[in-house]
Each structure stands twice: as C-alpha cells, then as structure tokens.
Amino acid sequence: MGFALHKHDQLPLAVLGALRRGDKIEAIKLLREDQQIGLQEAKAEIDRYLQANPALLQQMQAKQAAMVHRLQFWVLVLLVVAILAYVTLIG
C-alpha cells in the first residue's frame, strides 16, 4: 500500500535500503512499484528526500564511488589478462 511522502516524509524500508546500498535506480523502481507512480515523479520524490537527508545522500554517494572504483579495478584486471593472453598466443 502506498502513501504520500509529503505527509509522512518517509520512504518504504526497501527504498531506504536501496539508497543505503547506493542503488538509486533500484530505489526509484521500488518507489514506483509501491506508489504506482511514474518515473519522473518517483525520481523527483527520491531527489527531494535525499536533499532533505544529506547524511543519507553522502552515504549513497560514498557507496556509488566505491562501486565505481571496484568496477574500474576489474576492468583493469580484465584488460591486463586480455593483453597477457594476446601476447602469449602471438609470442
């Protein structure tokens, strides 16, 4: 069952969990499902909530930055493995 955020200034627990994990897209998806609202409205609600809760915004941004760093690391590892495989097969 959905509820209006402007009345309660809260998000469903699943949405908050997604934000704490740094997954804003999942949070928007979950809010859309819970509230039966459109994409733009859900994104706007999430953005308003994050602006009103700067500690959560910082936590979410830190999680996102950590995910980007992990992704960069694995892309680099795969690139090195691909180069080594190429050199080995050619050499």
pTM over 0.85: no
Inter-residue long-range contacts of 71-74, CB under 8 Å, 24+ positions, other chains counted:
none
Chain-centroid distance, C-alpha 75: 19
pLDDT tens digits for range 68-87: 999 999 999 999 999 999 99
Q: What is the DSSP letter of 2?
A: -
Q: Where are the alpha helices (DSSP H) in 1-91?
A: 5-8, 13-20, 24-35, 39-52, 54-90
Q: Do 87 and 44 contact (CB within 8 A), yes or no? A: no
- Identify the pLDDT of residue 9: 62
